[in-house]
């Protein structure tokens, strides 16, 4: 838990978000600035700054499982989607609470910029 961390505050429901899935350990909510018709963030409720700071990697598997479940729920699983974890400066990470982006609902370019 981190008092002033944005995503900790969303996990504690101090800041509103459109939650699309939740369990004991994780929350999935819509990105406030969507880059695709479906853009959902999956976070652990416990604070971890980035993938580089994870020490117990089972949480990452659970995040992937929730992303796959939300993709089915959102109706994008068959057409396809992308999951991304931007990590530290070169990865383009701006919020330092671990999160997985689930992007879909349109054809996505590769490679990223
Ligand atoms: P990053 O750049 O760290 O990989 O991704 C952070 C994401 O968090 C961005 O896509 C950004 O739009 C999203 N974001 C930032 N602030 C908020 C917020 O207050 N609420 C929600 N739902 N998303 C946010
Ligand atoms: Zn946090």
Q: Is residue 112 part of a domain?
A: no
How many Å apart are CA 13 and CA 28, to the nearest integer?
Answer: 12
Q: Is residue 111 part of a domain?
A: no
- The 10s digit of each residue's pLDDT in 45-71 is 999 999 999 999 999 999 999 999 999
104 near 82, Cβ under 8 Å?
Answer: yes
The stretch 4-32 carries a mean pLDDT of: 98
Q: Is residue 96 part of a domain?
A: yes
Question: Atom 13 in ligand 1: which residue has the minimum CA distance?
Answer: 31
- The 10s digit of each residue's pLDDT in 64-109 is 999 999 999 999 999 999 999 999 999 999 999 999 999 999 999 9
40 near 20, Cβ under 8 Å?
Answer: yes
Q: What's the 29 CA to ligand 2 centre distance in angstroms? A: 15
SS3 state at 86: coil
Q: Among this protein's residues, is 39 annotated catalytic?
A: no
Q: Is residue 59 part of a domain?
A: yes
| Residue 40 confidence (pLDDT) | 99
Q: Is residue 66 part of a domain?
A: yes
| Residue 25 confidence (pLDDT) | 98
Q: Which two tokens stand for residue 106?
A: 């349109």
The DSSP result for 60-76, as a single string, is: HHHHHHHHHHHHHHTT-
* Cβ of 29 below 6 Å from ligand 1: yes
How many domains does the chain contain in total? 1
Tell me: pLDDT of 1 over 70. Answer: no
Task: Give the mean pLDDT of the chain.
Answer: 97
Q: Which domain holds residue 76?
A: 6-104
């Amino acid at each position: 838990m981190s008092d002033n961390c944005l995503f900790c505050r969303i996990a504690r429901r101090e800041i509103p978000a459109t939650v699309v899935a939740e369990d004991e350990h994780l929350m999935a909510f819509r990105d406030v600035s969507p880059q695709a018709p479906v853009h959902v963030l999956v976070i652990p409720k416990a604070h971890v700054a980035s993938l580089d700071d994870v020490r117990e990697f089972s949480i990452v598997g659970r995040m992937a499982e929730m992303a796959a479940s939300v993709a089915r729920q959102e109706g994008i699983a068959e057409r396809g989607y992308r999951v991304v974890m931007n990590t530290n400066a070169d990865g383009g990470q701006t919020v330092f609470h671990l999160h997985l982006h689930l992007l879909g609902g349109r054809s996505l370019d590769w490679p990223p910029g």
